[in-house]
Chains A and B, each alone.
Chain A
């Protein structure tokens, strides 16, 4: 089961939100920003701040989980936690759809469906199987 598409949709929406918000496109035309208040951009910015790459290109060793990566078990554990935290970005999908303007009776079921698909993907990754 190809379970990457919901994550790709969320990442694409979040990236477009970030591009839209940073570029200031809505300010040129004097309109209120239609995607203002969406927290997907804040979430992506938070993840970017937590990563080991710093702003000036150098490696930021004290970014996060500094002591977990000392041995191979720590690397595996931090890798699994990274995968899980990446997949939980899909939990933002109902909020993102609602902030885009969709009503809650549409956004919540669609987000629930996406979360179910991504849950199958996490099980596939953890058990190293591919369910058809």
Chain B
């Protein structure tokens, strides 16, 4: 892909480094929302594997990471952080259901 090698955004005066990289990453997939889904899914999966199969700790860590990212990301890309928080919320509900509901085959 040629757009990866377009480094003019990084060199132009007044440009933001994080926005330049996020432009390329969001353009690689269908948009910022699906990039947030992919990033949040990888984050949740890695936290899930690191916690030896529990889902409560990855849910909390994912939601906290999304909450940090809301203030850290540029305003055009806050959807990424919102989707990560949403994934943490869904994982938290899933953890509660798995603990108290899932005792039947």
Binding site secondary structure of chain B = helix
Interface magnitude class on chain B: 20 to 34
Chain B positions within 8 Å of A100 at CB level: 33, 37, 83
Within 17-46 of B, Cβ neighbours of A (below 8 Å) are at: 30-31, 33-34, 36-37
Q: Is the CB of A34 within 8 A of B79?
A: yes
Interface status of A39 (Cβ within 8 A of chain B):
no
Q: Is the CB of B37 within 8 A of A101?
A: yes
Q: Select the residue from A15, A16, A124, A130 with max chain B CB neighbours within 10 A.
A: A16
Q: Is the CB of A3 within 8 A of B105?
A: yes
Q: Is the CB of A31 within 8 A of B78?
A: yes
Q: Is the CB of B97 within 8 A of A12?
A: yes
Q: Is the CB of B86 within 8 A of A124?
A: no
Residues of B within 8 A of A (CB): 30-31, 33-34, 36-37, 70, 78-79, 82-83, 85-86, 89-94, 97-98, 101-102, 104-105
